[in-house]
Amino acid sequence: DAKTTQPNSMESNEEEPVHLPCNHSTISGTDYIHWYRQLPSQGPEYVIHGLTSNVNNRMASLAIAEDRKSSTLILHRATLRDAAVYYCILFTGGGNKLTFGTGTQLKVEL
Amino acid sequence: DAGVTQSPTHLIKTRGQQVTLRCSPKSGHDTVSWYQQALGQGPQFIFQYYEEEERQRGNFPDRFSGHQFPNYSSELNVNALLLGDSALYLCASSRPLHSTEAFFGQGTRLTVV
């Protein structure tokens, strides 16, 4: 399984943008980049995914580098409810297994 | 839509015992995956069931087994429990041919004493 590298933790102030980086230098051409987050005492929750182009949805934006070796999850205005562990995962579609790393613990302060 | 439901929410077992955890997938989903999450770690893939058969398996011993029923619900069985089996067990459902995301339940917290 191709690996991803994320910082262990990041901090942000409420209502400020947050940029969560992920490196995936061994990504293959068929790997999608998925982001999940896990709030305290809950199961992981899908956030966003992309293949080559930048993506936006109601939760976040995903910026993918041109060489696809890195990506950035962007939360446009962090809230206290966004405090969670964020996982960057390479996923070769079709319901295959998700390989989680240790993720980035995002702390949001007032 | 109830989403993915797991039972029980918490469980305490003794070393050497056997345990069965249950999962009902999200409506319309036919694929169920199980994950083990130790404290402070990301979830680790155990296995995946589709059409009542185990389709993929992670690096877990044979003490971990499962089953999928015709209504797509699933069970995870762990035999001969070890202290190291203490973890949060997560169930995720998806539709493989259309899968862009997996939906997770809130998990079962298993404590082995």
Q: What's the rounded Cα separation, in Å, for the pair B37 and B104?
A: 13
Q: Structure tokens of B63?
A: 């003490």
Q: Dihedrals φ, ψ of B39, to 5°? A: -60, 125
Tell me whether A8 touches chain B (CB under 8 Å): no
Candidates A98, A99, A100, A105, partner chain B, best to mutate (most B CBs within 10 A): A98
C-beta of residue A26 within 8 angstroms of C-beta of residue A35: no
Across the interface, of B31, B41, B104, the residue whose CB is closest to A95 is B31
Q: What is the pLDDT of residues A44-81, one digit of tens each?
A: 999 999 999 999 999 999 999 999 999 999 999 999 99
- pLDDT value of position A93: 58
Give the HSE-up count for residue B43: Cα atoms under 13 Å, Cβ half-sphere.
33
Confidence of residue A30 (pLDDT cuts 50, 70, 90): confident
Kindly give the pairing relationship between strand B74-78 and strand B87-94.
unpaired
Give the tens place of pLDDT for each residue, B73-89. 999 999 999 999 999 99
3-class secondary structure, B85: helix
pLDDT at B1 over 70: no
Copy the structure tokens of residue B35: 């994950």
